[in-house]
Amino acid sequence: MKTTDYIKNWLKENLSTKRYSHSIGCGECAKKLAKLYNQDENKAYLAGLIHDLAKNLNDNELHNIIINEIKTGYNETELKNPKTYHAIVGAYLAKKIFEIDDNDIISAIRFHTLGKTDMTTFEKIIYIADKIEPNERDEKYSKKIYKILEKNKGIIGLDLAILKCTKETIKSLIRRQLYICPETIDVYNHLITKVGDLLEEED
Protein backbone atom coordinates (compact mmCIF):
# COMPACT_ATOMS: atom_id res chain seq x y z
CA MET A 1 0.00 0.00 0.00
CA LYS A 2 1.16 3.52 -0.76
CA THR A 3 2.05 5.77 2.16
CA THR A 4 -0.43 8.28 3.55
CA ASP A 5 1.81 11.13 2.38
CA TYR A 6 1.82 9.73 -1.15
CA ILE A 7 -1.96 9.37 -1.08
CA LYS A 8 -2.52 12.90 0.21
CA ASN A 9 -0.19 14.35 -2.42
CA TRP A 10 -1.97 12.40 -5.15
CA LEU A 11 -5.37 13.61 -3.96
CA LYS A 12 -4.16 17.19 -3.73
CA GLU A 13 -2.86 17.05 -7.29
CA ASN A 14 -5.87 15.29 -8.79
CA LEU A 15 -8.89 16.68 -6.94
CA SER A 16 -10.34 20.18 -6.84
CA THR A 17 -9.51 22.29 -3.81
CA LYS A 18 -13.03 21.83 -2.41
CA ARG A 19 -13.02 18.09 -3.05
CA TYR A 20 -9.62 17.71 -1.38
CA SER A 21 -10.85 19.71 1.62
CA HIS A 22 -13.92 17.47 1.77
CA SER A 23 -11.73 14.37 1.62
CA ILE A 24 -9.54 15.55 4.49
CA GLY A 25 -12.63 16.39 6.54
CA CYS A 26 -14.21 13.03 5.79
CA GLY A 27 -11.09 11.19 6.88
CA GLU A 28 -10.94 13.07 10.17
CA CYS A 29 -14.67 12.65 10.80
CA ALA A 30 -14.49 8.93 10.01
CA LYS A 31 -11.64 8.53 12.49
CA LYS A 32 -13.67 10.19 15.25
CA LEU A 33 -16.70 8.04 14.52
CA ALA A 34 -14.56 4.91 14.41
CA LYS A 35 -13.35 5.64 17.94
CA LEU A 36 -16.93 5.98 19.15
CA TYR A 37 -18.00 2.70 17.58
CA ASN A 38 -14.90 0.62 18.34
CA GLN A 39 -13.66 0.42 14.76
CA ASP A 40 -10.11 0.71 13.44
CA GLU A 41 -9.42 4.46 13.48
CA ASN A 42 -6.53 4.39 11.01
CA LYS A 43 -8.49 2.32 8.50
CA ALA A 44 -11.48 4.61 8.87
CA TYR A 45 -9.31 7.69 8.30
CA LEU A 46 -7.85 6.17 5.15
CA ALA A 47 -11.24 5.10 3.78
CA GLY A 48 -12.69 8.54 4.44
CA LEU A 49 -9.65 10.22 2.93
CA ILE A 50 -9.81 8.37 -0.38
CA HIS A 51 -13.55 7.70 -0.78
CA ASP A 52 -13.82 10.32 -3.55
CA LEU A 53 -10.56 9.62 -5.37
CA ALA A 54 -12.41 9.11 -8.67
CA LYS A 55 -14.11 12.50 -8.53
CA ASN A 56 -11.41 13.98 -10.76
CA LEU A 57 -12.84 12.05 -13.72
CA ASN A 58 -15.82 13.16 -15.78
CA ASP A 59 -18.93 11.05 -16.29
CA ASN A 60 -17.80 9.65 -19.64
CA GLU A 61 -14.41 8.64 -18.28
CA LEU A 62 -16.01 6.97 -15.27
CA HIS A 63 -18.54 5.15 -17.43
CA ASN A 64 -15.84 3.88 -19.77
CA ILE A 65 -13.78 2.51 -16.87
CA ILE A 66 -16.84 0.72 -15.50
CA ILE A 67 -17.79 -0.81 -18.87
CA ASN A 68 -14.32 -1.57 -20.25
CA GLU A 69 -12.16 -2.25 -17.18
CA ILE A 70 -14.32 -3.17 -14.19
CA LYS A 71 -17.03 -4.97 -16.18
CA THR A 72 -18.62 -6.83 -13.23
CA GLY A 73 -19.80 -6.30 -9.65
CA TYR A 74 -22.40 -3.59 -10.23
CA ASN A 75 -26.07 -3.40 -11.13
CA GLU A 76 -27.23 -1.91 -14.41
CA THR A 77 -29.48 0.44 -12.45
CA GLU A 78 -26.37 2.07 -10.97
CA LEU A 79 -25.45 3.27 -14.45
CA LYS A 80 -28.68 5.24 -14.82
CA ASN A 81 -27.45 8.03 -12.54
CA PRO A 82 -23.89 9.32 -13.14
CA LYS A 83 -23.77 10.44 -9.49
CA THR A 84 -23.12 6.80 -8.58
CA TYR A 85 -20.25 6.17 -10.98
CA HIS A 86 -17.43 7.50 -8.82
CA ALA A 87 -18.08 5.01 -6.01
CA ILE A 88 -17.74 2.02 -8.33
CA VAL A 89 -14.61 3.40 -9.96
CA GLY A 90 -13.18 4.67 -6.67
CA ALA A 91 -13.10 1.17 -5.18
CA TYR A 92 -11.35 -0.07 -8.32
CA LEU A 93 -8.79 2.74 -8.41
CA ALA A 94 -8.01 2.42 -4.69
CA LYS A 95 -6.60 -1.00 -5.50
CA LYS A 96 -4.96 0.03 -8.76
CA ILE A 97 -3.40 3.35 -7.75
CA PHE A 98 -2.90 3.07 -4.00
CA GLU A 99 -2.45 -0.72 -3.87
CA ILE A 100 -5.03 -1.12 -1.10
CA ASP A 101 -6.20 -4.68 -0.58
CA ASP A 102 -8.18 -4.26 2.64
CA ASN A 103 -11.73 -5.41 1.88
CA ASP A 104 -13.26 -3.19 4.59
CA ILE A 105 -11.80 -0.07 2.99
CA ILE A 106 -12.61 -1.11 -0.57
CA SER A 107 -16.20 -2.00 0.28
CA ALA A 108 -16.72 1.21 2.26
CA ILE A 109 -15.62 3.23 -0.78
CA ARG A 110 -17.76 1.13 -3.08
CA PHE A 111 -20.96 1.71 -1.08
CA HIS A 112 -20.44 5.20 0.38
CA THR A 113 -22.89 6.76 -2.07
CA LEU A 114 -25.84 4.37 -2.33
CA GLY A 115 -25.28 2.32 0.79
CA LYS A 116 -26.78 -1.17 1.00
CA THR A 117 -29.15 -3.04 3.26
CA ASP A 118 -26.47 -5.17 4.94
CA MET A 119 -23.83 -2.51 5.65
CA THR A 120 -21.18 -3.27 8.26
CA THR A 121 -20.52 -0.85 11.10
CA PHE A 122 -17.37 0.27 9.29
CA GLU A 123 -19.27 0.93 6.06
CA LYS A 124 -21.92 2.88 7.95
CA ILE A 125 -19.26 5.10 9.51
CA ILE A 126 -17.76 6.03 6.14
CA TYR A 127 -21.21 6.61 4.66
CA ILE A 128 -22.13 9.00 7.47
CA ALA A 129 -18.74 10.74 7.61
CA ASP A 130 -19.11 11.62 3.94
CA LYS A 131 -22.38 13.38 4.71
CA ILE A 132 -21.38 15.30 7.84
CA GLU A 133 -17.68 16.14 7.64
CA PRO A 134 -17.08 19.73 8.78
CA ASN A 135 -15.03 21.23 5.94
CA GLU A 136 -17.49 21.36 3.06
CA ARG A 137 -20.82 19.95 4.25
CA ASP A 138 -23.73 22.08 5.46
CA GLU A 139 -23.30 22.74 9.17
CA LYS A 140 -27.03 22.78 9.91
CA TYR A 141 -27.49 19.40 8.26
CA SER A 142 -24.46 17.93 10.03
CA LYS A 143 -25.79 19.05 13.41
CA LYS A 144 -29.05 17.19 12.76
CA ILE A 145 -27.15 13.97 12.11
CA TYR A 146 -24.88 14.44 15.13
CA LYS A 147 -27.96 15.04 17.27
CA ILE A 148 -29.35 11.68 16.15
CA LEU A 149 -26.05 9.94 16.93
CA GLU A 150 -25.79 11.56 20.36
CA LYS A 151 -29.35 10.72 21.34
CA ASN A 152 -29.31 7.14 20.07
CA LYS A 153 -26.31 5.09 21.11
CA GLY A 154 -24.81 2.12 19.32
CA ILE A 155 -25.86 0.67 15.98
CA ILE A 156 -29.37 2.09 16.31
CA GLY A 157 -27.90 5.59 16.16
CA LEU A 158 -25.95 4.75 13.02
CA ASP A 159 -29.04 3.25 11.39
CA LEU A 160 -31.17 6.27 12.28
CA ALA A 161 -28.51 8.62 10.93
CA ILE A 162 -28.35 6.71 7.65
CA LEU A 163 -32.15 6.67 7.43
CA LYS A 164 -32.19 10.45 7.83
CA CYS A 165 -29.45 10.83 5.20
CA THR A 166 -31.28 8.54 2.81
CA LYS A 167 -34.52 10.49 3.22
CA GLU A 168 -32.70 13.72 2.42
CA THR A 169 -30.99 12.13 -0.58
CA ILE A 170 -34.32 10.96 -1.99
CA LYS A 171 -35.82 14.42 -1.50
CA SER A 172 -32.85 16.01 -3.26
CA LEU A 173 -33.04 13.61 -6.20
CA ILE A 174 -36.75 14.32 -6.60
CA ARG A 175 -36.20 18.09 -6.48
CA ARG A 176 -33.52 17.82 -9.18
CA GLN A 177 -35.59 15.33 -11.21
CA LEU A 178 -32.81 12.75 -11.17
CA TYR A 179 -33.09 8.97 -11.35
CA ILE A 180 -33.38 7.27 -7.95
CA CYS A 181 -31.51 3.97 -7.92
CA PRO A 182 -33.54 1.05 -6.53
CA GLU A 183 -30.67 0.43 -4.13
CA THR A 184 -31.44 3.75 -2.42
CA ILE A 185 -35.09 2.79 -2.06
CA ASP A 186 -34.03 -0.60 -0.69
CA VAL A 187 -31.91 1.06 2.00
CA TYR A 188 -34.76 3.39 2.92
CA ASN A 189 -37.32 0.59 3.11
CA HIS A 190 -34.95 -1.60 5.14
CA LEU A 191 -34.24 1.11 7.69
CA ILE A 192 -37.75 2.58 7.91
CA THR A 193 -38.93 -0.93 8.79
CA LYS A 194 -36.07 -1.52 11.22
CA VAL A 195 -35.83 1.80 13.10
CA GLY A 196 -38.28 4.20 11.47
CA ASP A 197 -40.49 4.47 14.54
CA LEU A 198 -37.52 5.89 16.47
CA LEU A 199 -36.79 8.74 14.05
CA GLU A 200 -38.48 11.65 15.80
CA GLU A 201 -37.24 14.59 13.76
CA GLU A 202 -39.37 15.43 10.76
CA ASP A 203 -39.04 18.34 8.33
pLDDT digits (tens, 9 = 90+) for 71-98: 999 999 999 999 999 999 999 999 999 9
> What would the mean pLDDT of 125-139 be, rounded to a whole number?
94
**CATH no., domain 4-198:** 1.10.3210.10
d(CA 34, CA 168): 23
d(CA 13, CA 171): 34
Instruction: Tell me if 160 sits within 8 A of 152, measured CB to CB.
Output: yes
Every domain of the chain and the residues it spans: 4-198
> Which residues, 6 or more positions from 15, have their beta carbon under 8 angstroms from its beta carbon?
23, 52, 53, 55, 56
Global model pTM greater than 0.85: yes
